[in-house]
Amino acid sequence: MAYTTDDARTRMLAMQAVTEETPFGPDVLVYKVLGKMFATLGFEDEVGRMNLKCDPDRALELRDEFEAIIPGYHMNKKHWNTVVLDGSLAPKLVAELLDHSYDLVVAGMPKKLREELGK
């Protein structure tokens, strides 16, 4: 079964201290943990697309391996990938990439904020 935008939204909103905002307009949902963006979710031709932060080396590997993972649209392409939710990616992989993005952003926070999250 394909991983849908509803699946992604549900997973992200269940994460600790996550907010959903629309600073770029109503067509793009932005997900932040304690005010720091870790994902966007939007649509193009009715296909969901997410921008997710990723370790730079892994980002390149994923782009080589999967057609539905491309350099981050309107983002720093070294640190962000766009994940196209076209049904070609295993749901387990998409969920893991969401978690990875969240964890990277949390890891970059000051110790005090990480402690608020229990990390």
How is the chain split into domains, by residue range? 5-116
Q: What is the pLDDT of residues 70-107, one digit of tens each?
A: 999 889 999 999 999 999 999 999 999 999 999 999 99
Is domain 5-116 in CATH 3.40.30.160, yes or no?
no
What pLDDT sits at residue 28?
A: 92
Q: Which strands form 36-44's sheet, in the order they lie side by side?
A: 18-21, 28-33, 36-44, 47-53, 80-85, 69-71
Q: How confident is the model at residue 39 (pLDDT cuts 50, 70, 90)?
A: very high
The burial of 14, by beta-carbon neighbours within 10 Å (0-12 exposed, 13-18 middle, 19 or more buried), is given as exposed
Distance CA 72, CA 79 (A): 8
pLDDT, greater one: 20 or 116: 20
- C-alpha 119/C-alpha 112 separation (Å) is 10
Is the pTM for the entire model greater than 0.85? yes
Q: How sure is the predictor about 45, in pLDDT bands with cuts at 50, 70 and 90?
A: confident
Contact 63, 69 (CB under 8 A): yes
